[in-house]
Amino acid sequence: MSENILKGIAAAPGISIATAFIYKKEIETIDDEQISNVEDAIENFEKSLNKSKKELNKIFTLAVDKMGENRAGIFEAQMMILDDPVLIQNIKDRIKKEKRSPIFIVDAEFSKYQKILALSEESYMKERSQDIEDIKNRIIRNIKKKKWISRIEKDVIVVTNSITPADTVLFSRENVKGYITNFGGLTSHAAIVARSLNIPAVLGIHDATTKINNGDKIIIDGVHGEVIINPTEEQLNYYEEKCKRLAEFDSGLAKLSDKPAITKDGKKIILRANLDIVEELEFIFRNGAEGVGLVRTEQIFNLADEFPDENKQYKIYKELAEKIYPNIVIIRVFDIGGDKVFPVDVKEPNPFLGWRGIRFLLDNENLLKTQIRALLRASIHKNIKFMIPMVTSIHEIKRTKEILEVCKIELKNEGKEFDKKIKFGIMVEVPSAAVMAEEFAAEVDFISIGTNDLIQYLLAVDRGNEIVSSLYQEFHPAVIRVLYKIIHASKLNSAKVSICGEMAADILATPLLVGMGLDSLSVSASTIPHIKKIIRSINFSDAKLLAEECLKLKTEKEISIKLQDYFKLHFSDELENVF
């Protein structure tokens, strides 16, 4: 790798070329001063609280415009901390008792919460400590009556130590071209906000602010997680040409939006989109998806603080079903635990193999019942299907079906309408489910293969671990053969089978997946035009032959070469533009 290239986490896709703006937050000094007038100090503290609330409320309003109400809920959560009566009273009591500066007391009290969160083993909770830091600094600045500075120049790539959600939203008003940070991961609020706003971001570079200077020319490649500092003429020409080609290529792809995903010899593949936030719907429609193949409900509701009640869920599912009608929307029940939001206090030594997905829901049946009732009530247009995640045993499938029947009886007795034949499916994402695919398929209407976890568990590789991440191989022969087994087993039992993991969005894999017999693919909205173009350019008979050849190969390298050779022969323009 060239010396001027930094590698980080590809947190939000896209390519930008712009000038670097080093954003440094002023660090407030915290003096432990004794005070003589306690009443004045408490009044000053209360005023600073009110001012902080007003500031956050303004940011919340701006965020609603840019990101939608659910995502903007990040700032509502921050405002709730400012209303915490126990925390606020504790600060006031300490000011009275200890006669110390409110700045010192605020710093001490908020820092306690930060330390607790920072010690958490879950990355999500660790990253929340950054949100507490933001609130703490805001109050302290307001106690000092200093102006809150979040100003940057227009059209720059922001380079900083870490970035708060508030900064991310405020900076977007200046047409920011990208974000680069020393710290932060895929689940940080900054990453979520950047993706929602469609701004490229590479996070977690560690030494970005020491290696990049103000005014440096920067190329940010949010697809590959790379940052190029002061590019050579050759690098600049390459990326400028790539941006230009991408724009032209995207323009050509847009013309396919109303065309079906059908091979040249007539094999129809249903191409749906994955959905994380409701505001993505417009983008999904524009790119020509035939419905939604995966709604991640834990993302839709941003479960950081509480589980939504039945009515709140019903309204969202109903709105989704109506907007997507007559196409299908497949809704996954809450998949929590692992690296995802977990709004209860549970400590596990290995959360990925712990209390997560359907395990958690079956141990909390009221939560599952609430969600199933809401889904049923929203299903009157008969275009909702639902599925359960992290299935490992047939008991989990049968118990969920029993709960489904109980919910149907309850709603019938209450005189509420619902789709009596709602389709029920499972995610296959662990080896035990893959091995039992034939038996599991006999119990359900459809199977959706979640390749991210399936590959991770099948190859025993943590894809987030840089040391072994190269061993995470979607074209490993074991992966290909297991995928084929799941597809074949599903078809033996007439269960429809689709794939919704990141592998489905890899255009190199498209002919192979089609050739193995998948009925549908569900991918990010931005990938749909690329996948559609591939499907419309191939013969199913050729893809089937390609799959049969790949299934006989013994190494990942052999399969990759086979697929690349196929692409060089049929899609040289895709290789040049996308990779």
Count CB neighbours of 534 within 10 A: 23
Residue ranges with strand state E in 391-495: 423-428, 446-449
SS3 284: helix
> Measured in whole angstroms, how far is the alpha carbon of residue 197 from the centre of its chain?
13
The Cα–Cα gap between 463 and 216 comes to 32
Count of residues for the chain? 579
What is the SS3 assignment for 220?
A: strand
Query: Measured between alpha carbons, how far is 133 from 455 in angstroms, rounded to an integer?
Result: 37
DSSP-derived secondary structure for 465-496 = -TTTGGG--TT-HHHHHHHHHHHHHHHHTT-E
| Cα→Cα distances 250→50, 159, 263, 275, 577, Å | 47, 28, 21, 21, 10
Q: What is residue 523's DSSP assignment? A: E
**How far is residue 202 from each of residues 9, 186, 198, 199, measured CA to CA in Å?**
5, 10, 13, 10
Backbone angles phi, psi at 297, to 5 degrees: -65, -30
The residues annotated with a catalytic role in the active site are 189, 500
Please, which residues bridge with residue 7 across strands?
A: 226
Bin 120: left if φ > 0, else alpha if -120 < ψ < 50, else beta.
beta
Cα 85 to Cα 291: distance, rounded to the nearest angstrom: 45
Closest CA to 378 of 413, 329, 334: 329
The Cα 389–Cα 408 span in angstroms is 21
**In DSSP terms, which residues pair with 178 in a beta bridge?**
157
According to DSSP, the β-strands at 217-221 and 446-449 are unpaired
Helix (H), strand (E) at residue 384:
strand 384-388
Q: Give the CB-side neighbour count of residue 315, counting CA atoms within 13 A.
A: 5
- Terminus-to-terminus CA distance in the chain, angstroms? 16
Contact 203, 184 (CB under 8 A): yes
**Can you list the positions of beta strands (E) in 78-236?**
156-160, 178-181, 201-203, 217-221, 226-229
Q: How far apart are CA 267 and CA 414, in angstroms?
A: 44
